[in-house]
Structure 1
Amino acid sequence: MKKILVPTDFSEEAENALKVAAQLAKKYGSEIYLTHLLELPFTQLDALSQHSELPEAMFFMKLARQKFKDVLSKKYLEGITVYETVDFNQSFSGIADTAKENNVDLIVMGSHGASGFKEMFIGSNTEKVVRTSEVPVLVIKNEHETFDINNIVFASDFKNDNKETYRQASELALAFNAKLHLLMVNTANNFTTTAKANSRILDFINGYNYNNYSINIYNDENVEQGILNFSHSINADLIGISTHGRQGISHFLNGSISEDLVNHAKRPVITFKI
């Protein structure tokens, strides 16, 4: 975990994420890439490409630079190498591009979630990053004075998910020295016996040497609610889940449990791209 990307809009939620990133950076000797993306209309973006001193763009750039200066003066960032950038882009696509360009290992984002029609038709920027990012995305909802992770829920069907996501989850658990709670949620419409579920999970994790884990089969009305209820029952510090990164009409018709969790969970959520 050498490079951590933290997108910011200088909101309270973004600062909560930066505080967590700072704790991780100090613990693992990481660098932080703090980026702010200005969303300008396409007509202004075209003009900006030809005239770098477009008045509106320069105004917002200077404003962002001043806010960066204020953020970088925070005591919790002392001793951490922080690179700050301001780009003109649509925030959700720009963040994924920035992550690739800088070869980051983790994106840490703040979120207040989305609900109702906003969730259905617009969604939060964090949700869109989860959908497009190739690297794990850690979503922070609240302030964490001390970001200690002792219990991680890794929710999966242990059938359609790529085993690569479990490798990432087990390495994360090892880094935190945390217990990994492997969770499969049973629903009435997609029921699996306990014996078959246990066998499927053991086959899924076969070949990995991380031994600090538990196997859990949990019954609930739907998968999302099952993950939330189980995580509450063990007071989990972090929920980990895979995302297929569906976009366009596929996303609208099929939805995504990972993105729903990003919007609805009160606990931190980390997503792994399949």
Structure 2
Amino acid sequence: MESLKILIPTDFSVQAEFAYLMVKKLEEKTTIDIHFLHVLNVPDTVTMDSRGDIQTCGEIDVNYVVKQKEIALRKLENLKVLYGSQINVHLVLGKTTDAILDFSNSNSFDLIVMGTKGSSGIKEVLSGSEAQIIARRSKTPLLSLMCDRSDLQIQNVLLVHNFNHPKKEGMELMHKLIKAFNTKVHLLQITSGQVEFEKASVQADMKQFAELNGIENYECHLINDKDVENGVVHFNQMSNMDIICIGTHGKGGLFHQSATEKLINHLFKPIISFHLNN
């Protein structure tokens, strides 16, 4: 049986609960090694040694940090009471997104799962949600979701991609999901041109992509829309997908509008984002 080592960053909110319920859905078909991580968000001048002792530069009250650490540890231990002693819990110090990325990179996870509230407007432009930032920078695939999907039936996975130059991508996670759930993969390309003129060449590229990446059970789709985000939304209205998979080049932020990051914040579907090979 395929196995997955999964990291769930938690701030003990309902969004973290949604992430855990999603992981339990995956556990129905595959072996899961679950790790909860809480980041105590403190400046770089606050550190914790191997024994768990806190040191500060003196400007920050060490007793306050120790108290916050004790509260966080109690909450982490309570997760083991709620979910079972088989889960692993971890506490680190630092800036939230940086600490999650460092912990993930150091421990070879297959997947990060995060619940997100999303964001919009000026907040999205200036900062973005933590899930957006993780998707942009993480070497590990991210599964993000906005609500409880414990009733999800994982039968149809939508892979959104530009298939014009087919090549082998890093899709180990997708292959594990396909094998575990016997899913069908729907290959989708969104064009601003005329579908009937591009359909034959795009489908040929999709076929080559599927062969290069070992995808056997699939369907090809090409639709016209003004951009990727709207295309994915409209395709889902026509054909209800269970999970969306979309690659990213990691170029989101203030000066780059990333379709992947927009979907993470706006689409009420579980989304798996992964870094494309350059």
> TM-score with structure 2 length normalisation?
0.87
Residue matched to 2:51: none
Residue matched to 1:197: 202
CA shift in 2, pair 1:136/1:87, >3 Å: same
Q: Gaps spanning 5+ residues in structure 2: where?
A: 49-53
Which of 67, 71, 89 pairs up with 1:59? 67
Alpha-carbon shift at residue 26 of structure 1 (Å): 5.3
Separation in 2 of the partners of 1:92 and 1:161? 32
Residue matched to 1:179: 184
Superimposed CA distance per residue, residues 154-190 of structure 1 (whole angstroms, 9 cap, x where no aligned partner): 0001136863245543443232211110000011599
Residue matched to 1:254: 256
Separation in 1 of the partners of 2:194 and 2:118? 28
Alignment pair present for 1:71 and 2:73: no
Give secondary structure in 1 for the equivalent of 2:148. Answer: coil
Superimposed CA distance per residue, residues 101-158 of structure 1 (whole angstroms, 9 cap, x where no aligned partner): 2211111111011100100001001111111111111112111233421111000011
Separation in 2 of the partners of 1:71 and 1:191? 54
Separation in 2 of the partners of 1:92 and 1:13? 16
CA shift in 2, pair 1:130/1:161, >3 Å: farther
Separation in 2 of the partners of 1:161 and 1:208? 9
Does the 8 Å contact 1:153/1:181 carry over to 2? Answer: yes
Separation in 2 of the partners of 1:49 and 1:190? 61
Greater shift, 252-261 or 164-173, is seen at 164-173
Which of 14, 17, 21 pairs up with 2:16? 14
Give secondary structure in 1 for the equivalent of 2:207. Answer: helix
CA shift in 2, pair 1:125/1:162, >3 Å: farther
Which amino acid is the alignment partner of residue 48 of structure 1? Q
Which amino acid is the alignment partner of residue 163 of structure 2? F
CA shift in 2, pair 1:30/1:174, >3 Å: same
Does the 8 Å contact 1:242/1:272 carry over to 2? Answer: yes
Over the residues paired in the alignment, what is the CA RMSD in angstroms?
Answer: 2.6
Superimposed CA distance per residue, residues 69-119 of structure 1 (whole angstroms, 9 cap, x where no aligned partner): 332222xx34x6211111111111111111122211111111011100100
Separation in 1 of the partners of 2:171 and 2:97? 25
Give secondary structure in 1 for the equivalent of 2:22. Answer: helix
Superimposed CA distance per residue, residues 37-78 of structure 1 (whole angstroms, 9 cap, x where no aligned partner): 011134445983679x9212111111111212332222xx34
Separation in 1 of the partners of 2:73 and 2:171? 39
Which of 2, 5, 10 pairs up with 1:3? 5
Give secondary structure in 1 for the equivalent of 2:254. Answer: helix
Residue matched to 2:113: 108
Separation in 2 of the partners of 1:192 and 1:172? 34
Give secondary structure in 1 for the equivalent of 2:117. Answer: coil
Which amino acid is the alignment partner of residue 54 of structure 1? V
Give secondary structure in 1 for the equivalent of 2:147. Answer: coil
Alignment pair present for 1:237 and 2:242: yes
Q: Gaps spanning 5+ residues in structure 1: where?
A: none
Alpha-carbon shift at residue 258 of structure 1 (Å): 0.8
CA shift in 2, pair 1:32/1:148, >3 Å: same
Alpha-carbon shift at residue 20 of structure 1 (Å): 1.5
Which of 142, 151, 175 pairs up with 1:137? 142
Identity %: 29
Greater shift, 27-36 or 236-245, is seen at 27-36
CA shift in 2, pair 1:88/1:189, >3 Å: farther
Residue matched to 1:272: 274
Residue matched to 2:55: 48
